[in-house]
Amino acid sequence: MSVSRANATGRFLLVAGVVLLLCITIGAASAQRCAQTCTFTPDAKIMARRDALLKLDGDSAKVIDQLTKALGDKDPLVTRTAARMLGDRVPGGLPGLTKALRSKDLLTRRIAALGMGAMGPDAIEPLAGALKDESPFVRQAAVISLATIRPSGPQILALLTDAGRDEDGFVSNAALRATAGAFALLDTIRLPKEGWKFVTDAERVGEDGNWFASDFDDSGWSDIEIEAVWQDFGHDYIGWSWYRRTIELPARDNAPRVEMLFEGVDESAWLWVNGQFIGAHDIGATGWDKPFRLDVTEALKWGQPNQITVRAMNTAHAGGIWRPVRILVMELAQ
C-alpha cells in the first residue's frame, strides 16, 4: 500500500471512529429511525456482485469506473460497498462519491459523505449540497467530513456555522462541536438563576400563541429558578413547559461568535432570543444530561436588554433547565 493510500485509510478510520462515537449518543429513537431506513436482505446473486467489488484493487481509472457504475445497482448492499471503496480512492473517487450522494439509499449517501473528508478542498462543494439532504444522518456526515478537510478556511467555517442552526439537534450539535475548535474563548457570562417566568403547556399552544415574542406578556406566569428541576417549585408535571427572562448585556465591540451553552435540560429544549428562533436540542430521552450549544451571534444585542425564551419538554421523571446556562463570547483562534 502506498503512503497516500495508507494516509487516506487512516483518515477514514479516524472519521469512522468519530461517527461511531456520535452514533452512540444519538438516542434509541434516532437509531431505530436509521435502522428502519437502512435495512436490506441480500441473496446469493447480490453477495456475488458485492464480492466482485471487494476483489478490485488499485486506483486505476478502470477500477474507479467499475465502482462508480456499481452505484447504480438495485441493491443497497452493493451501492454501500461501492461508496465505501470509492472513499479509499483519493482523490480519484470524488466524482463517484458525488454521484453516490444522489442515491435513494440513505446509508449509501451517508457513507459517501463520510468518505469525502479525505478528498480535500475539492469536496467542499458537494458536501455543501449534502448539508441540504433530507436525512439528518447524511447532513451530520457532511459536517464531520467538512471538519476534517485541511486546510480549513472561511468557506468551511461558514458552512459549519449554518449547519449549527440545523433544525435537527443531531446535526447542529455536531456542527457546533466542529466549529468550537476554530475559536478561542474571550468571555463567559452565566445567566442568572433567579427571575425567570414559567408556565406549563399541556395543550401545546405556546408556539401558536407566540409565547416566544419579545413583547409577550408573561406577568401571569409563575416565578421559577433555573439550575433546578421544575418539580422543585411545585410543578408535578411531565410534558411541555416554557421559561422566559430578560437579561441585560454589557456593551461590547468585539464578539465575532457568540454561543449559548446549556449544560443540561431535561430532556429537550427549543431556544428563542429576542423573538428569533435559534435552534433546538431534541435527541430523545437520552438528551436529558447532554450539554449543547446554539449559535446566538446574530440574535443577541450588546448593551441592551435581551429577551430569552426556552421551551422545554420531558417524557418522564424530572424536567426543566436543571444545569447552568452560559453565554460564550469567542474569536477566531490564531
Q: What is the pLDDT of residue 16?
A: 40
C-alpha cell, 255 = 464578539
**What's the rounded Cα separation, in Å, for the pair 26 and 252?**
37
Listed residues 158, 181, 204: the one ending a domain: 181
**What's the rounded Cα separation, in Å, for the pair 321 and 264?**
6
144 lies in the same domain as 275: no
Mean pLDDT on 231-240: 97
**pLDDT greater than 70 at residue 260:** yes
**What's the rounded Cα separation, in Å, for the pair 199 and 219?**
11
Listed residues 181, 208, 239: the one ending a domain: 181
Q: How many CB atoms lie within 10 A of CB 45?
A: 9
160 lies in the same domain as 280: no
**pLDDT greater than 80 at residue 31:** no
Element (H, E) at 138: helix 136-148
| Alpha-carbon separation of residue 191 from 83, 198, 217, 283 (angstroms) | 46, 16, 21, 24
**What's the rounded Cα separation, in Å, for the pair 26 and 5?**
31
Question: Which amino acid, one-letter code, is at 115?
Answer: G
**pLDDT greater than 80 at residue 239:** yes
Q: How many CB atoms lie within 10 A of CB 2?
A: 8
Radius of gyration of the chain measured on its C-alpha atoms? 23
Mean pLDDT on 111-116: 98
Listed residues 181, 200, 217: the one ending a domain: 181
Which pLDDT band holds residue 35 (cuts at 50, 70, 90)? low
Q: What is the pLDDT of residue 37?
A: 52
**Comparison of pLDDT for 170 and 276, the residue scoring more:** 276
150 lies in the same domain as 195: no
CATH value at residue 203: 2.60.120.260
**What's the rounded Cα separation, in Å, for the pair 295 and 326?**
12
129 lies in the same domain as 19: yes
**Structural domain total, the chain:** 2
Q: What is the pLDDT of residue 129?
A: 97
46 lies in the same domain as 177: yes
199 lies in the same domain as 236: yes
Mean pLDDT on 149-168: 88
Nearest to 50 by CA among 88, 13, 84: 84
Q: What is the pLDDT of residue 43?
A: 87
Which pLDDT band holds residue 23 (cuts at 50, 70, 90)? very low
74 lies in the same domain as 131: yes
Q: What is the DSSP letter of 213?
A: S
14 lies in the same domain as 154: yes
67 lies in the same domain as 90: yes
102 lies in the same domain as 134: yes
Q: What is the pLDDT of residue 40?
A: 53
224 lies in the same domain as 328: yes
224 lies in the same domain as 172: no
CATH value at residue 175: 1.25.10.10
Domain that includes residue 285, residue range? 187-332
Maximum pairwise Cα distance, the chain: 72
**What's the rounded Cα separation, in Å, for the pair 30 and 2?**
39
